[in-house]
Amino acid sequence: MGASVGGGSEDEDTEVSEINVTPFIDVMLVLLIVFMVAAPLSTVDVPINLPGSTSTPAERPDEPLWLSLGLNRVLSLGNDAVPGGGLQAALDAATGGKRDTTIFFRADKDLPYGETMAILDELRKAGYLKVALVGLEGAPPAAEGVTQQ
């Protein structure tokens, strides 16, 4: 009945030439679940209405440092609100004092230009000169109220 190797009796150990894939499938399913749970945790949950851009997106580091300015004029570093006047301290804590870290700045498109520039000035005064402005990828920019001279 059983397949014996070497002509021995059925009670002896036999070699099986088939690969048991059940443990492999179990491991893959566990990894799938881990990645499905971890992927949403790596995003920033500050709602910002971004302007569109048609330029080619630049490469992004594995763990970007997001600075967001919402329409309610609340400044957030990642998901944490930054108290008024505490931007430099919050950035120093998040970067470990590394001033060459790229800051990804997101601002709501309906904010006045002056408020956006005020935050960029604060970043410059704090010594953070590598600032990437973030927009919606592949969306055409809004042409309302734009005049060309």
The number of CA neighbours under 13 Å toward the Cβ of 57 is 11
Kindly report the CATH number assigned to the domain that includes residue 108: 3.30.420.270
User: ∠ at Cα 94 (90, 95), nearest 5°?
Assistant: 115
Q: 133, 128, 116: which is closest to 88 by C-alpha?
A: 128
Instruction: Say if pTM beats, i.e. exceeds, 0.85.
Output: no
Residue 90 is part of which domain span?
52-137
* 122 is a domain residue: yes
- pLDDT tens string, the chain, 149 residues long: the values are 455 555 555 656 777 778 888 889 999 999 999 988 887 766 666 676 767 777 777 677 778 888 988 888 888 888 888 888 888 889 888 888 888 888 889 888 888 888 888 889 988 998 988 888 887 776 555 555 444 44
* 14 is a domain residue: no
* 22 is a domain residue: no
What is the predicted pLDDT for the residue at 29?
Answer: 94
* 6 is a domain residue: no
How many independent structural domains does the chain possess?
1
